[in-house]
């Protein structure tokens, strides 16, 4: 069911500072910032060749990233994203296996313009998992 690792997401307290560190210090190519109000974040993608690093900054007071940063003020790994061929088939298989899909279990459109779902971290050893349709 799982395809390739699409990205590793890092919550950061200051997106401009984090972007500069990856671009200027590490020499990486970074995307322009993209606001995703439906997800409560602003994102930048760092191209590392075989995958991406997603830098996440809270967008709005109700952002789930804001709550994460309250517990982890310096930032940290927020989630990993894997590609799947068919997100609805993956969702149905996971639910039948007892995994919890967050929200209403209906895919939302993610930063790449593709359907995504999130899986409860307690079902995956403390790691929030995002699935993105390839």
What pLDDT, on a 0 to 100 scale, did the predictor assign at position 57? 97
Q: Which two tokens stand for residue 86?
A: 């068919």
Per-residue pLDDT tens listing for the chain (134 residues): 999 999 999 999 999 999 999 999 999 999 999 999 989 999 999 999 999 999 999 998 889 899 999 999 999 999 999 999 999 999 999 999 999 999 999 999 999 999 999 999 999 999 999 999 99
User: In whole angstroms, how far apart are CA 37 and each of 31, 58, 97, 102, 127?
Assistant: 18, 10, 31, 18, 23
Instruction: Return d(Cα 91, Cα 104) in angstroms, integer.
Output: 11
> Exposed, middle or buried, 48 (CB in 10 Å: 0-12/13-18/19+)?
middle
Q: Which of 57, 83, 130, 132 is catalytic?
A: 130
Provide the number of structural domains found in the chain: 1
Per DSSP, helices labelled H in 14-113 are: 15-20, 64-71, 87-96
What pLDDT, on a 0 to 100 scale, did the predictor assign at position 61? 83
**Range(s) of the domain holding residue 10:** 2-133
Q: What are phi and psi of 113, to 5 degrees?
A: 75, 20
Q: Strand 2-11 vs strand 52-58: parallel, antiparallel, or unpaired?
A: parallel
User: Does residue 119 contact residue 126 with C-beta atoms inside 8 Å?
Assistant: no
The CATH number assigned to the domain holding 61 equals: 3.10.180.10
What pLDDT, on a 0 to 100 scale, did the predictor assign at position 129? 98
From 116, 86, 123, 126, select the one nearest 6 (Cα to Cα).
Answer: 116
Is 132 among the residues known to form the active site? Answer: no
């Amino acid at each position: 069911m799982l395809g390739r690792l699409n990205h590793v997401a890092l919550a950061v307290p200051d997106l401009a500072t984090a972007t500069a560190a990856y671009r200027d210090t590490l020499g990486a190519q970074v995307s322009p910032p993209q606001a995703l109000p439906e997800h409560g974040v602003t994102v930048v993608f760092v191209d590392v060749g075989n995958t991406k690093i997603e830098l996440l900054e809270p967008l709005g007071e109700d952002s789930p990233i804001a709550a994460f940063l309250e517990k982890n003020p310096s930032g940290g790994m927020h989630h990993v994203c894997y590609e799947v061929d068919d997100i609805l088939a993956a969702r149905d298989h996971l639910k039948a296996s007892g995994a919890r899909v967050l929200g209403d279990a209906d895919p939302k459109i993610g930063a790449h313009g593709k359907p995504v779902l999130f899986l409860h971290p307690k079902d995956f050893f403390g790691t929030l998992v995002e699935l993105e349709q390839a």
